[in-house]
Structure formats: C-alpha cells, structure tokens
Structure 1
C-alpha cells in the first residue's frame, strides 16, 4: 500500500476549509453524521433541525465549526433565513419522511405530508441555495434520495414516487446550473440503521427480507452515507454532476 503523506494533493481535494455547508435534518441519523463529517473536513456547518437539544449537543461537540438553527424547513421563516446567507458552498438537502402504507389504503394526510416534506420543501431549499451559489459562481448541492428512487417497493408507493421525483429534480437542476458553476447530485442509500428505521429493522422477518435484497448482506450505517456526501461536496468530485451515488450494497444492481 502506498504511504499516505500529510499534504497529499489527492487527499486535499476532500477538504472543505473555508467552505460553508448547510445540512437539513441534522439532528439525528444521516443528517447528523453528514454535519459531523463535513465539520471534520474543515467546513463551517449550519445544522438545521426542529429539536433544539439535538443541535445543542452537536454544537457542544463542535463548538468552533457547527452552528445550530432550530427551524422547520417547510416554513417561510426558514426560507427567509436561508436566503439571507451571503455565502453557501454546500447544501445537503436531507430532510425527508416516510409512512409506509398499502397503495389502495394510502390516506390523503399521508400523501400530502410526504409531498410537502419530501418534494416541495426539498425543491424550495435547493432553489434558495442555488440562488446564492449562482451568485458566487460555485457550489455543490446534494439531494438525499434513496434506492427507492430507482426501484419500486411494496407499501412504499408514495415514498418511491417522492424519491423518483428527487432523482428527476437532481438531473434537471444539474443540467441547468452546470454552466453557472453549480454541481447537483443525489445520494441514494439503502436501509440505513437510524432512529427512523430502527422500529422496522427490529422486526426479524423484515430485516431478513431486507438483507436478502442486499448482495453485500449488511445494513448500511450513517457513516456510509456521510462518506458519499463528503465526496460529492468536495473538489474530489469536481467533474461529477447530475448523478446519483447509490449507497445500497448492490440492491439496485439486481
């Protein structure tokens, strides 16, 4: 194995010193892991979540590099605050939700919630971030998608629909914004062990069914997704836009 030396040019491409990054849904799970890794790479991170206690614990762990915003990303108040930033180099558009229901039993309240959170808010946040980045002439937007944005699944018609929409949004944004210096990509994880998925994965039969679809035969960890986000946020992915990086252990390769 080649020796890794301090100051190695290739490794420097992954560093984010002098960059401002904003991560939505940063209080727990994938978003928190992304905020921590981006901070470790040198970025000044704005962590956005609805639970103040989660953000306070992040700020205590990273007092010089993570600032917490207690905000609801679907609100006009948050959009105004985001739009007031003078610099934004990285957006991790991570907020999302899921309420699995059989297709014929999907309730309108479920449909409206997931369309609002998973699509409408993601669009608005990306749009506000893109306006700042276009003015700078540079930036990287990472939309959090899912392997379900590439396949279908039982009891997940609404979730699949919203994540397919994120994939389409990512491609269209990338094509339009590329000439203005802004890259746009998606990260598409498989089932990741988080507080949101824990109740499902605690069902032994459900976990067996999930693992049967993953050729690598293991569940994802939040660090797996954060690593992909850092790559797409950094100069190491400088010629990549309009892509979806699947962190799925081979699920969608079937």
Structure 2
C-alpha cells in the first residue's frame, strides 16, 4: 500500500458504514486522517465503528432529507477537510417503460439530491477555512448508460454534472471537487441487482473482473490529499478499461 498523507485531516464519508464508504474510511484512517461516518443504518454504523477502531465518529443521517443533513453537520466535528459522497442505491433493473415511479424518485433522492444536500451544507465550512476536498462517487453508467438501469444511469450522469459545476464555482478557492466513475465493484450493492445485470456489467469490462473496494478507496483517498491541487471538476475513471471517453 502506498502511503498517503492525510495527517491532521478530518473527512466526512456518507454511506460510510458499508461497501465503498467503509473501504474509503479504512484507507483514510491508514493515511492518518480521522473520519466521521454518515449513514442511515445505526446498527451498521456501530459495527463499522467497532471494526475501524480509533479515530472514528458516527452520525445517523438520511441524506435525502435536508433537515437531517443540517442536523448531522451540527453533530460533526467543525473541521471538515474532505467530504466523500458515497451513499447510493441502484434501483430496480427493468426497462424504463415499466420503471416504478416511486423507485425512480427514490434513486434520485439518494444518488443526486443527497449529494446536493451534503455539499450545500459542508461547502460553507470549507470556504471558511479556504481548504477542502470533495469527491463524489459517480459511475461509468453515468457516462455510457446501462440498459434496464435508467434511473441509476441518469442519477450518476447528474453526479458528474454537479461535480463539474461545483468544481468551477470553487476553482478560485482552496477547495477541489472531483468525482470517480467506477465500473461495477463487488460490494453488497450487488444484492440490489439481478444476476443478468451483474453479468452484463462484467461482460463490458476488458479486464474481465470487477473492481475491488480497496482499489476505489486508493484513488478517492488520493483525491482528498493536498497533492490533488490542480484537478477540479474532473472525472477519474476506475473502469477496468470499459470507459470510452
């Protein structure tokens, strides 16, 4: 493992109790940072905090609710050097004409509105310090579009657009805003997908395998360091060769 320098830095990680968020927390702790995990699952938060050990704070929050995010900020360490927006859901795998309206709205609430709420409330804290790193977890589906995953693909395309817009807004400050676009990564989120959709995603990856959480965490952690100084509003692929642009 390459050593990254995040000593003295504090990061907020949404969806931090499991999956990519948990792996990112592990890498940041190994790099010397402290972390606050935001998640709606209080039982999973307790388990994650126990597994991660020292340097971890947890806050139960529903990122789809603006008032819940405001309350979470108040419960979090005032110093927030990095924000990783990792909370996300896939939604059902079905053609658009059959897509349940409630499920569509839920995907948008979690995957894009949640990021908006978190950025809206944490950016002012970073502006006060004139320093910050924001990394949004998008997906290669937001670039290529996956069939039978219209809500997920659309929401992740929106994450890319939000990242580019906010990155330009804050470019003259000490805050950097970037996103990563992984191909499929083997986490519990696979439980939300059909076997057919999982096989479709694998077939699109030239490396012939899924990404590993620690591989995504390595890139995300670097994007949260001071070394990431001239990239903002950028999209970093982690697709095993799948991405075509």
Q: Please say if residues 181 and 236 of structure 2, whose CA atoms lie closer than 8 Å, have aligned partners that are also in contact.
A: yes
Picking from 59, 63, 83, the partner of 1:73 is 63
Alignment CA distance shift 1:157-1:206 (3 Å): closer
Q: Please say if residues 160 and 235 of structure 2, whose CA atoms lie closer than 8 Å, have aligned partners that are also in contact.
A: yes
Q: Please say if residues 141 and 184 of structure 1, whose CA atoms lie closer than 8 Å, have aligned partners that are also in contact.
A: yes
Alignment CA distance shift 1:209-1:116 (3 Å): closer
Q: Secondary structure at the match of 1:173?
A: helix
Paired position in structure 2 for 1:234: 225
Q: Secondary structure at the match of 2:232?
A: coil
CA distance in 2 between partners of 1:28 and 1:71 (Å): 14
CA distance in 2 between partners of 1:110 and 1:240 (Å): 35
CA distance in 2 between partners of 1:184 and 1:83 (Å): 22
- Shift, 1:31, TM fit: 0.7
Equivalenced residues, count: 242
- Shift, 1:83, TM fit: 5.1
Q: Secondary structure at the match of 2:170?
A: helix
Q: Secondary structure at the match of 2:145?
A: coil
> What are the equivalent positions in structure 2 for 1:46-125 lying under 5 Å apart?
46-75=36-65, 76-82=67-73, 85-99=77-91, 100-125=93-118
> What are the equivalent positions in structure 2 for 1:1-254 lying under 5 Å apart?
14-75=4-65, 76-82=67-73, 85-99=77-91, 100-198=93-191, 200=193, 203=195, 206-253=197-244
CA distance in 2 between partners of 1:77 and 1:109 (Å): 21
- Shift, 1:27, TM fit: 1.2
Q: Secondary structure at the match of 1:74?
A: coil
Alignment CA distance shift 1:163-1:91 (3 Å): same
Q: Please say if residues 83 and 128 of structure 1, whose CA atoms lie closer than 8 Å, have aligned partners that are also in contact.
A: no
CA distance in 1 between partners of 2:41 and 2:71 (Å): 19
RMSD after superposition: 2.0
Alignment CA distance shift 1:63-1:96 (3 Å): same
* CA distances 1:34-65 after superposition (whole Å, capped 9, x unpaired): 11111111111001112223222222233321
Alignment CA distance shift 1:152-1:141 (3 Å): same
